[in-house]
Chains A and B, each alone.
Chain A
């Protein structure tokens, strides 16, 4: 069964520092992979997605993620954190034509001034 694991329920960085949020998936078939962001009292917003092709995917707000098949990982990065990046981030995986998008438990990002 497919699963998504996000390492660290909470991550804290200083403003201007690198953001690295980790995501690993388990699947015998490379899935579609997604990162969503959720601000307080709001729904999820799609940050970026990987389906096929280029393994480095760029998203909104300066975020990017790299699909590494050998490591079954899809880590999210941003070179320089901003206070407005403080939110909860969800990694998700889905398969072609399927409706069972599996979400990770989420990682809350704190940004210190």
Chain B
């Protein structure tokens, strides 16, 4: 019963490097989300998807790109990492409705 799985769990990058965070869900959910969590700020929506092949911008999309080529996977890319992107990133899914229900355990990303 995996639910939402995020890889990697930890990563340290240098400024300017690129990387991709992977999110996989096994619940056949249509909706998937990427959030970032920063101290004292709650969660902020980066991008979301309402189904395979669709993506849309959230509250803080700048510096990130996403893809949803398969229904079960939602990828978050950082093309040129910046220290301001140091954060904990959470992927979430829901069967519908626009509100996240199931979260992964997070990816802790540090940009030096």
Contacts and interface: CB of A to CB of B under 8 A. Distances in A.
B92 A34 contact: no
A36 B64 CA distance: 26
Interface in A22-69: 32, 34, 41-46, 49
A42 B9 CA distance: 11
A101 B99 contact: yes
Counting chain A residues whose Cβ lies within 8 A of the other chain, the interface size class is 20 to 34
A34 B97 CA distance: 13
B66 to A, nearest CB: 14
B45 to A, nearest CB: 7
Given A99-B48, A99-B56, A101-B45, A44 B103 contact: yes
Contact of A43 (B45, B59, B106): B106
Interface of A: 4, 9, 32, 34, 41-46, 49, 90, 92, 94, 97-106
